[in-house]
Structure formats: structure tokens, C-alpha cells
Chain A
């Protein structure tokens, strides 16, 4: 059931990204809610589920863009590796790691995608890709993360004991 929900949400976000979201530009980039959703899922639900959700997100992205199929599947895969940082539990909340993962995943995604596009013979702008897409994208995607983090959090029944939202509850 959770995978069905995730698939429906990812499909909606993939279509939204190439339609209505194309009009939303902040710092010259369009927020990538699909990437943010996959990253939030990885943080909230763990690496195991991310191993299914992330390639699915990549496939849906590939099917709705002009990139060769497989590009985003590969470029989004660092999310699963970076989600391992969740296990470090340096902070009690999951929101801050989610923000950090979204920002890091945006940079990794853009760099890998530029590399893949260059590998397939397309003209790419490495400097522009990093300075005008990856870095502003990391900030913008992090800013828009709450939009997808809250539903993912709400859908996740398995809260860690003693931790709710962004603070810690005190056991009586």
C-alpha cells in the first residue's frame, strides 16, 4: 500500500514538474519536488524503502523529460547512499537531515546528469550547470522541502519513540 501511495505521489509530482511548476522560478530554477519527495522518503522511511522509491522516481522523471531513459534513475541514486547519514542520528529531528539530504542530492543529481548528458554527446555547460542550476537548486529545493516533508511525515506511522516533528517529547 505504501508503495502504491508513493507511486501515485511520484507520478503526480513528475507530471506537475513538466506542467504547472514550469512557471515557478526562484533564483532562476524550478523547485524539484520529485527529488525532494524521494529524499524525504529516504530520511523518514529509511534506506530500505528508498531503494525502491528512488529508482521509481528516476524512471518517472525520465519518462516525462527529454533525457534518455536511465539518466535520472542513475543521477538520483546518491539519495540512497546519502540517506545512510540518517542512521548517525546527530540530531533528534528528521527534518534537518531531510533538508541537508535534499540540498546534497540536488548537487549530486545535477552533476551526474550533466556528466551523463555530456557522455551522450549533448552540449553541456559544466560551469553554468554547477553555478546556475546545482547551487541555487540546492537552496530552492531545500526551501520547498516542507511541502513534501509534511505529507511524507504524516503518512509515516512508525514514529521513533519520544520524537515528534522537530522537537523531543518528555516521557512522564
Chain B
């Protein structure tokens, strides 16, 4: 009987808490909790570096792991530059085609944020950053890695910190484009969405698109929620099904979420959702 009463109480309290949390009535508690534990989390993270390196590469030595990480970051930076250049070339062509109409993107205003926690449950892919509404962060804002590639969007902003939904989260979708031939003129559009099995999948590609392994995937800018030509990653495999109306490709994200320590919040770009009528 005691267990039944206990269960009834826990279920009631939990459901009420979930409803209150969804209505953002418990935001101050949420804000306080993660900010209070962030120094300990950061300390534990730093302390665990040697252990994590050992765990990540049982065969590799720590210096090789670090070197590998540095090279990955360099590749990511160069790929981001390439994507930016290709996007710029396409933009120039579009502008020329539009009878020389001038168009410019405002100077990017980036806010540096530290990663203080990471969602590890497997059902969701998210990180917490130490910047919140007090710093100008708002829900829907775009978050980039230090190398300039797309990491995700702010899914929930509190006063002093925010949760960022990563690209690989099942709830994340981005309008994307991928190289489907030589040159920037042959970009094919699709939708990149998070997937628990594959990480990131580029779907809705035309069945006749010539998507190849290693092709760079960038944001298309459609929908207005992301700026154009932000690097997402590169195609790691393409699923060919003759009868399927669309082609699918698995994408290796450019930014490795597990190694993110600092990210950039793009304050100057207002997603369509945030802009008023």
C-alpha cells in the first residue's frame, strides 16, 4: 500500500513538474542548477582529459590523438573556407544574373561561448553553453564551431546559459545543399536531419543527383533559419535505391560534438522565426 501511495505521489509531482517546466515556470531553477554545477563540470572535464584520451585511443599514444585532433580542426577550417568560397561564387553569379542588383550580408557578429555540459543519454544530442539571454542569445539562433562549421541551434535559452540542439539530434532538420558535379554551379538541395543510427542523413535528394562520397554539404539558406553556405560536413556514403523517389546520403559532420569546448553563437543572423512581421 505504501508503494502505491509513493508511486501516485511521484507520478503526480513529476507530471506537474513537466507541465510547469514546459510552460517555463521552472526556468529560474534550471538556470541556477546548471550554472551552479558548471565549475565542477568544467573541472571534471579537464581532469578527465588524460583518461579520455586513453579511452579514445587504447592503441594510440596521447600525442598522436592530440595531433590528429589538431589536423581535424585544420581540415574543418579549410573546408569551411572552401564552402564559403563556393557559396560566394554562386552568390556572385546569382547577383550578376539578377541584373547587378546589390545584396550583402551584414558583418557577422559572433559571441564566444564555452561548452559546460553535454547530453549523453543517446536519445538527444545537445550541449549546454555558458551564455544566455543576458548575453543576447535567443532560441533559434545558429551556433558554429570554432572552425566556422555549423554545430546546431539554440533550443532553449535561460538567463545565464542555453541548450544547443546539435545537427545530429533526431529533432534537428536543416535545408542543405551538396556538390553533385564539378564546380559550384551543380549544387543539389536536400534536407539534412539528425538520426540516432547514422548521425546525420541528407535526405530528399533528387534520385538522379550525382552525389559522391566526400562531397561538401552546406546550408542552402532556404527557409531563412540558417545563413547560406555554412559548412555542415561531407558525404560519407550514398544510399542508392533504383526505385526510391529520393536519394539519401550519410553525412559526417565537420564539427565533432564530443571535442567541442568553445562554440560561436551567430548573433547577427536572425532566423526567420525570430524576426517580427
Contact = CB atoms under 8 A, between A and B. Distances in A.
Contact of B18 (A21, A70, A80): A70
Interface residues of B, number: 50
A55 B17 CA distance: 12
Nearest to B5: A51
B interface secondary structure, majority: helix
B121 A124 contact: no
A28 B118 CA distance: 15
B231 interface: no
Given A66-B119, A66-B156, A128-B196, A23 B11 contact: no
B171 A123 contact: yes
A20 B55 CA distance: 12
B52 A24 contact: yes
Given A22-B258, A64-B33, A66-B155, A84 B10 contact: no
B100 interface: no
A137 B29 CA distance: 29
B16 A15 contact: no
Interface in B1-39: 3, 6-7, 10-11, 13-18, 20-22, 26, 29-30, 33-34, 37
B158 to A, nearest CB: 11
A14 B41 CA distance: 10
Contacts of B103: none
Contact of B120 (A11, A22, A116, A124): A22
Contacts of B45: 19-20
Interface string B41-80: 1101101100110011000000000000000000000000
B110 interface: no
Contact of B26 (A17, A58, A69, A132): A69
Contact of B33 (A16, A47, A63): A63
A29 B30 contact: no
B117 interface: yes
A107 to B, nearest CB: 13
A30 interface: yes
A128 B170 contact: yes
Interface in A104-118: 110, 113-114, 116-117
A77 B170 contact: no
A18 interface: yes
Interface string B207-237: 0000000000000000000000000000000
Contacts of B155: 66
A166 to B, nearest CB: 27
Contacts of A80: 3, 6-7
Given A15-B44, A16-B44, A113-B121, A73 B10 contact: yes
Interface string A31-45: 010000000000000
Nearest to B37: A15
Given A20-B44, A66-B155, A133-B121, A124 B170 contact: yes
A93 interface: no
Contact of A81 (B7, B26, B56): B7
Interface of B: 3, 6-7, 10-11, 13-18, 20-22, 26, 29-30, 33-34, 37, 40-42, 44-45, 47-48, 51-52, 55-56, 117-124, 126, 128, 155-156, 163, 170-171, 195-197, 258
18 contacts: A15-B41, A18-B118, A23-B55, A24-B52, A55-B10, A64-B117, A68-B21, A70-B17, A71-B14, A74-B11, A80-B3, A80-B7, A110-B122, A110-B123, A113-B121, A125-B196, A129-B122, A132-B122
Given A21-B120, A125-B196, A129-B123, 5 more contacts: A24-B55, A64-B37, A69-B21, A122-B124, A133-B196
